[in-house]
Structure 1
Amino acid sequence: MSLFYRFVPRPRRGVAGIHVRPQSFIFLACMLFLFSMVISACISDSNSNNGGNAHTSAAATPAPVQLSSLGWCGKPSEIFRDQASDHVQAGAKSTDLGPADGKPRTVTDWNTVKSDLGFTIYLPKSLPAGTCLLSVSGSLRDPIFGSNFTITYVLPGQDAMSFSQAPVRVKNITFQCTVSQGTASTANSTNTHGSASTPTAAKEPVQLCNGIRDQTNIVFSARGNTSTLQQIFQNLQPDVDWTPAK
């Protein structure tokens, strides 16, 4: 499933190909925001159902784990599509795929996808132990973005961390984060049978961040304050092997 917004451009006389508006990356951010909200809602529901069975553990925090050592959260969800458009942007043209006949097809080989993305993927070198891979998807020869890549992890605390990446179209983007609506940090309280309210630990908000690394436009969603998320962004590494161990 791609997080990129699609639309069919209206043909104009005397114009060949498709013109990409500078604001196109906004659609990427909006779609990732909506996706992260759905994931957060599902995870919150799961937490409420399992809350009564939770037990406090004093065990030491285990060391972070490389992405290739993480398993799937459940049934593998890996979908890559070749849109086969002949109106691709520079750097996204393929030599390993079929004809650009406008007929979308599924690509099952990750190495083929990687070689034809036209940009470098940046991911964390490792994530906390207990993290699992929820889904990964992407498109090649897309008429709007050329190509894109999206991957989502579920962290031990049941928060989702998603990365969606595409070639740079607008170069004057500085790193910035926006708090996802409805996830602002609050100190919740409970009141049972008229007893006094008991405050619980406040959580940092889920934020949607955007920045550029080399020729890659990166949008990611995660819980944390802006300085922490900026550090995560700066620590992203190129060409990290994300494929789960068989």
Structure 2
Amino acid sequence: MLSIPLRGLRRVIVLGTVVFVTAARGLSALPADAAWQEILNSEPKRILRDPAGANESRAARLATGAAWMSLQPATDDNLAKAAAIFADLAQGDDEVAAQAAYLRARLWQLHFLQPNYARAAELYEELAARQPQSHWAQLGLVKLAMLKLYALPDVPDRLAAAESILARITTPALQRDLHLQIGQAGVILKEPLSRFLPHLVAADRIGGISGTAREDLIVQLGELSMRAGLPAQAQEYFERYLQEYPNNVRAYAVAERLAEAKQLLAAEEVKP
């Protein structure tokens, strides 16, 4: 069974999203704006210093829960207070309920001193069953897939488990993210190229990947295509790389691999 150090695993399953920034953007039009801004300014104590009023809005309560979640130093007592608020709010059927349910699962996945990945998976599943088209439910499915790829025990075919979740995701950007994660997991788990290379290709075709991640993916697709015996596909990606990054330090090596791909294609053409 794959074994990844806990610290490394936490980096893997975060997917590069800062939870409070994401949540705050989702509440940007709500009266709790000031509270969210305090969280983004890393000053959650200001929110918790003032007792909540009897007529506190659901959005404001969500911000209070997030404040307990982000309070430093983090303690399980503070996180338990956040979990209680999120559990109560998650009983509704509005967007705040979906966000609360998502954050509650994240507590168990990432924040408690002793994570409980099985509990986090249950909560993501519950959210997806209750509000399947919510952005937060869809995002939770990506997190659930990451748990199945890396963290949960007794998953006999990790890629297949994540692929079954992929079929439930309707948001293109999140489909792309999960295609990418399945592909990279295939590399880490040393799966056959035919099992995971199509996922990396699909992530690229959906688009929206930028910066060094885009550059790395194009090179990776070219190289993996060569190893998979797909020189035409490799040529496509190597040529793209040289067109988009002609002055990069990797350009020379990529040009050499492109020449090899062309040689393979030429050899195929002269075969009887």
Shorter-chain TM-score category?
A: under 0.3
Q: Mark the structure with the bigger radius of gyration.
A: 2
RCO higher in 1 or 2 (8 Å CA, sep ≥ 6)? 1
**TM-score when normalising by structure 1:** 0.23
Q: Between Structure 1 and Structure 2, which shows a larger proportion of strand residues?
A: 1
**TM-score when normalising by structure 2:** 0.21
Q: Between Structure 1 and Structure 2, which shows a larger proportion of helix residues?
A: 2
